[in-house]
Structure 1
Amino acid sequence: MNSKELAKLLEQRNELDQQIEEARSNAKSAAIVEVKKLVALFELTPQDIGLGKRDGVLAPSGRGGPRGPVAPRFRDPESGATWSGRGKAPRWIAGKDRAEFVI
């Protein structure tokens, strides 16, 4: 293959890339119009379609983010200390039957 053939192929690729981008843009615009129609028709909320509000920005729900506080599930009868069951077990419950400490 000589340099002229290569240059011609590269030019064709650039033209195809432009056509692909234009087709993608048109398809995206049509999809957005259709989605807006469906949202209005069914009065959908962000939560209905799997989006939730996090830090003031719409984001996929159920992913990451800090979890809120949890009520304690276990209590040490001697000290009154509690543990939610999350994280590393405290010394007073480690290696013991947790059923004895359930609140």
Structure 2
Amino acid sequence: MARYKELLAEKEKLERLIAEARQQEAASALEKVRETVGEFGFTPEDVFGKRRKNVQPRAVAAKFRNPETGETWSGRGRAPRWLKDQNVERFRITE
């Protein structure tokens, strides 16, 4: 049990050392980035690229229609049940 507690104490010490080293290296890296950005006059868009707006998937026009219910299918994804074992061309929208 004593060995277990010694290892836990060692682990905590290592985690503190890791956190300190990361903080120091991150500060150094950030300073280099700031110098480079200032030297070349980069904008946030230059560094990070343009922000993408939330792009909504485009609606796809229906290509097939069930004449009994009026349900439609774009031809993408899994085929609906009403097309199972059917010739899909019979249901193609020609308009």
Q: CA deviation at 1:42?
A: 0.5
The equivalent of 1:33 in structure 2 is 31
**TM-score between the two structures when normalised by the length of structure 2:** 0.58
Tell me which residue corresponds to 2:59.
87
What's the CA shift for 1:10?
0.5
- The corresponding residue for 1:65 is 54
Matched residue type, 1:48? D
Structure 1 residues 95 and 32, CA, compared in 2 at 3 Å: closer, same or farther?
A: same
- TM-superposed CA distance for 1:95, in Å, is 4.4
Runs (4 or more) in structure 1 with deviation over 4 Å come to none
Higher-Rg structure is 2
**Structural RMSD (CA):** 2.5
CA drift at 1:51: 4.1
| TM-score with structure 1 setting the length | 0.54
Give the distance between the partners of 1:6 and 1:90, measured in 2 at CA.
65
Take 1:7 and 1:90, find their aligned partners in 2: how far apart are those partners? 66
Equivalenced residue count is 66
CA distance in 2, matches of 1:11, 1:95: 72
- Quote the Cα distance in structure 1 between the aligned partners of 2:25 and 2:46: 24
Q: What pairs up with 1:1-103 in 2 under 5 angstroms?
A: 3-52=1-50, 61-62=51-52, 65-66=54-55, 86-89=58-61, 95-96=93-94
Greater per-residue strand proportion: 1
Q: Which amino acid aligns with 1:89?
A: A
Long gaps (5+) in structure 2: 64-91
Letter in 2 for 1:65: N
Q: Percent identity?
A: 25
The runs of 5 or more residues in structure 1 that have no matched partner are 53-60, 68-85, 97-103
